[in-house]
Structures are given as structure tokens and as C-alpha cells.
Amino acid sequence: MNKSAQSSRFSLFALVGLLSVLGLGQSIHRHIVYDIPWVPGTEKSIWSIEASIQFFGRGDPVSVNLRRPSDQAGFAVLDESGASPGYGLSFVDHIGLPTAQWSIREATGQQTLYYRAEVLQRDTEDFDEEPPPRLQSRSWEEPYATAVEAVLDQAFSMSADPFSLTRQLISQFRATDLAQNEQLLIDEVGEQNLTNLLADMLQSRDIPATTVYGLLLEDGRRRQRLKPLLRVWSDERSEVFKFGLSAVEARLPVLLWQPTRGFVLDVTGGTGSDLTFSMIRSEFTSYGQVAAALGEGDDFLGFSIHTLPIEEQAMFKTILLLPIGALVVCLLRIFVGLSTSGTFMPVLIALAFIETSLLTGLVGFLLVVAVGLMIRSYMSHLNLLLVARISAVIITVITIIALFSVFSYRIGLTEGLKITFFPMIILSWTVERMSILWEEEGWREVAIQGSGSLLTAVLAYLAMTNPWVRHLSFNFIGLQFVALALIMLLGSYSGYRLLELRRFKPIVNSVK
């Protein structure tokens, strides 16, 4: 080893040391000064929720009313704010309901208004229960009236109170094999209006019920919409029924945005209005910290992503996980010697797995690649030029994904729809590379690289979904420097890879 190599090695170690000290120092500072815990807690989470209203102004005076969430079972609203250049904003009670009201004399073109609420998730009962809404009766024409009566009679006979009646009705409508009456009613109102239908049916038996709108709270989600839910009252109590949700969605906490009958968004003077939500969760160790964080004036060392708008924060929650994925890839390639198809393709696949859940993702991935390979092997007979061929593969992959989505939706698997989260260009390159590998080196090499890629993707997925890793990577930006230092250290490792020990075994044997 010559001198220049030694000095470059020294400067590498110096840089690695510096980065580690910097990263750890910033993290410890954040821990001590802002009291951010090292491990994720569940007790005091604050959800920062940002509602984004978009509409198109036609040059007329505009008035926008957005329903605001109020204290409710499981949640307390701590702080509210709004952003909207040029608009007057006030928090008022509009027709008796808490509302954020924006107004402007003239608005032209695309308009975006923001409403932001900090909501504490807690387990108290300290709030005013929403009174039951007034009954609104509704009548049905024949033959629907008879069907409604029959369905209600059946459910009534198998239940004891309004809540069990509702549960029975839901199970009758959600049965895999629908009875004739239920089928008739669903065909009439449409699957998406089932909540309204159930509310109307319950009211016809003098049970106060209505469709309410709630937000499913999942850390780091963007562009979410409110879900219609069924709320039923009995005496002073009420219950919210979630249905039509996937198993994963059903476990999420729900913040009722519109807890009883009323409106969510009302735009006067604009067209094409749209409402989407972004949200993010933060953990705090004490209520004092909560208060401090809300009125936070950030100094330089407290520099954090938490000062960005919620939508960008939610995006960074994912972006900050990428170094973890890269670290896993480095470990597996440098220490183990796994061969993968495309160096960082597994990380992107792992990101897709986060969206789709592991099993759906694995099945979807294997399906797309397998079908893609078959079609691609036919294409190799056509002798197309490279760029055209890959473009053709991209279109093929999109077609496979579209067909798979439609097919799985038809047979009732909403999970299948999530396959659209896959990075399609990356998948196309995977198909192309594997196909060439198959032709040149045979199926065995394809199997080795394919399983290497999947194994890497699964391990990266496990690392990136680990709650502790997520908590640390988002709350302690300094740790990114530590990851960088680790990766640089790995880059200078010159020892054997695990799989090489087997590869070079013949030499060891021959020396003996």
C-alpha cells in the first residue's frame, strides 16, 4: 500500500468520524432540548392535519365554508390555523356548525386554500356528545318499499337494539352471496350510496342515523379524502360503523370531520372545488412539550423538517427512509455478495411494498415480471431496436397492471388495485434485463438474480417499516449523517464477501 492510498484512507476515516459526531450531536441536542424520545411512543401523538381546498375562480366574489373538526371521542383539537393569500379568514359558527370561512372580493384562476389543525389523540370522555339529528322520513316506491321492509324485518328479528340491528343490516348487505332483496336495493342506489341507504332505512324505524364523514389517520399520507361512515344513535350514546374499508384501513383511527348531518365544504362563486387532506403524526413525551412545540420558534440547531407544510413533511417521511434502504443494499452486496437485478431496484420495489403491504406486493411483483417475461420473450423474435423494445415493454407492463387491477376488482379483491403503486419504468427495465439474462446466461442466473432482488427488497421493506427506524429517521435528521458515515465505511471494506467463502473453497481445499 503506498502513501497516497494511506492518506486517502486517513481522510476517509476523518470524514466518517466528523459525520458521526455531527449527526449524533444534532440528535442528542434534539433529544435533550426538544425532549423528543428515542423510541416511538403511542400515548401522546399529535396529528397535524392539513386540508387543501382547490377550486377555480371566475372573477366573482368568492365565499368558502369548510367544516372544522371539533372535540370528539378519542381526539381533542389543540390548534387551528389557515393560509390563503389575499383572503379574509375567520373561524365562525355557520348555521350552528364550526366553520372556517374564507372570503374575497374577486378570485380568478386556480385557487388553493389551506386549513391546518393540530389534533391530540387521547382517551378521555371530556367533550360534548353530538345530539342525535332529527328524523327525516323517506318513502320508497314499489318494489323497493317491500324489499326495504323485508330486509329490515329480517334484521330486526335477529337483533336486540339499534346498534345490533345496524350490524345485522351491514352483514346482510356485505354478505358475499347477496340475497335477492339486498341485491335489488344495491342495484337501485349503487354501492357507493350504501351508507345513505342504511341511514334512511334505520330512520324509517325511528332510529336516528345519518351519513357522517371521517378521515382515516395514517402517518405520512397525502391527498387523502374523507370516507362516508354510518353513525347511529340510541338514547344518549352513538356509534360509528365503518364498512367498505380494507382490513388495514379498518384498524386506523378515524377523526370525524363532519360528525353529524350538515356540510363539509361549500364554495360560492367558484367551480370545480376539491378537498384533500395530508397528515402526519408527531410524538411527544409531555403535555408541556406539546404546548411548546405548538408555539415553536425554531433556532438553528432545532432546524427540522417539522417546519415545512404538512404535505411536504409527509413526503419527507418516505424520502428519509431511502438511506435506510440504500444501507441495506450496501450491506447485502458488500458483506454478503448477493446479486440483484439493478443495484437500487430492490429499494424502489420495497417502497412499493410499503404502499401495497408485503404479501400483495410480492404476488403483484411476481405476476407482473412473470407475464412481462413471457411477452418479452416473444418480442425478442421481432428484432426490435433497443429503445423501441423497452418502450414496448413499458406499455406491456402498464397493460398487465391495468388488467390485473380490473380483474382483481371484478372478483372483489380491492387489494389488487394497489398494484398501481409499482414503479412501472423500473419494472420494465427489470423485465428487459431479466429477459436478456435469460437468453445469455440461462434461467438459473435469472432465478439467482430474481430471488436476490426480492430478498433484498423484503429486507429493505422490513427495515423501512420498522416503527423504531421510522421514528428515528424522521425525528432525528442527524442520523442521516450517521447512515452516510456507515455507508462510506462500508465502501472501503476490502474483506471477503460471505458468498465468496464458498466460491473460493476449492482453492482452500487444494492448498490443504
The residues of the shown chain that bind another protein, judged by CB under 8 A, are 1-2, 5, 334, 337, 383, 385-387, 440-441, 491-497, 500, 503-508, 510-511
- Say if strands 254-258 and 227-234 run parallel, antiparallel, or are unpaired: unpaired
Torsion sign across C-alpha atoms 33, 36, 37, 41: positive
Name the β-bridge partners of 90: 101
Cα angle 299-305-307, degrees, rounded to a multiple of 5? 60
Cα(103)–Cα(113) distance, integer angstroms: 11
H or E stretch including 444? helix 443-465
Residue with cell 413471457: 374
Closest CA to 80 of 119, 121, 117, 120: 117
> Could you give the residue ranges of the DSSP H alpha helices within 217-340?
247-250, 287-294, 310-319, 322-330
Q: Where does residue 508 fall: left (phi above 0), alpha (psi -120 to 50 degrees), or beta otherwise? A: alpha
Beta-carbon contacts of residue 24 (< 8 Å; ≥ 6 apart): 478, 482
Burial class (CB in 10 A: 0-12, 13-18, 19+), 247: exposed
253 with 73: CB under 8 angstroms? Answer: no
Closer of 319 and 436 to another protein (Cβ):
436
How far is the C-alpha of 111 from the C-alpha of 114, rounded, in Å?
10
CA distances, 362 to each of 359, 410, 463 (Å)? 5, 21, 16
Question: What's at 339, amino acid-wise?
Answer: S
Residue from 367, 365, 319 nearest 458 by CA: 365
Q: Which residues fall within 8 angstroms of residue 200, CB to CB, at 6 or more apart?
A: 138
R_g of the chain computed on alpha carbons: 28
Q: Which residue has the cell 414503479?
A: 423
Q: What is the DSSP string of 143-186?
A: THHHHHHHHHHHHHHT-SSHHHHHHHHHHHHH-SS--HHHHHHH
Between CA 339 and CA 93 the distance in angstroms is: 62
User: Looking at beta carbons only, is 303 or 493 nearer to another protein?
Assistant: 493
Q: Which is nearer to another protein, 32 or 511 (CB)?
A: 511
